[in-house]
Amino acid sequence: MDPPSSGSSQQSSSAVSEDDVTGLGGNTPQPPTESDPMDDGLLDRIRSSVRGIPDFPIEGIMFRDISPVLAEPGLLSSITERLVQDLNELGWHPDVVVGPEARGFIFGPLLADRLGCGFVPVRKPGKLPSTTIRVEYELEYGSNTLEIHDDAIKEGQRAVIVDDLLATGGTISACARLCEELGATVIGSVFLIELEGLGAREAIAPVEAHALISYPA
């Protein structure tokens, strides 16, 4: 995921890699209703498990650490089931799930398995062994590059992108471009956490986004 700007104090971030996210081209998907008390309980469990670490990796950034979420028995499974439910309610029925390294590799394969479709990894240069295509995208300071195998997605397939956190949208936008270059349609993106106020949804438009919980940036 991409790091949010370090200009404001105590901004939230989940990592300084490539994060991103989803955007909606003006059509913000309405989140599924949360009338079921069990659903509310799940979201409360996630919020209570996410750990905020101030001034990491640099001063002024509030890092949202999901390590305690992964360490709690059964929580990752419950999150996956909730994402499946939400995707069905949103009408997003993918042929493939696409996830960027590193935390997209945690949620992506589990979600793909539950949905009965394949998982496609997106990686930094030099990590994928076969022929790839690549996209370079801009960060606040410098640029980054992501790659995907050139035979990973078939033309006409529908893709959903999944990652742990949506911040500025750079990584997700790059993933969407890779999918589209292979002829796929990106029907949406899903996240555990969204950092609000960083313009991610506008950055990734027209790709739509859905997150289970959010924090102010």
Please identify every residue annotated as catalytic: 103, 140
Cα–Cα distance, 116 to 119 (Å, whole number): 10
C-alpha dihedral sign at 35, 79, 209, 66:
positive
CB atoms within 10 A of CB 204: 29
User: Could you please report the per-residue DSSP string of 120-185?
Assistant: EEEB-TT--SS-EEEEEEE-SSSEEEEEEETTSS-TT-EEEEEEEEESSSHHHHHHHHHHHHTT-E
Name the maximum alpha-carbon separation found in the chain. Answer: 48
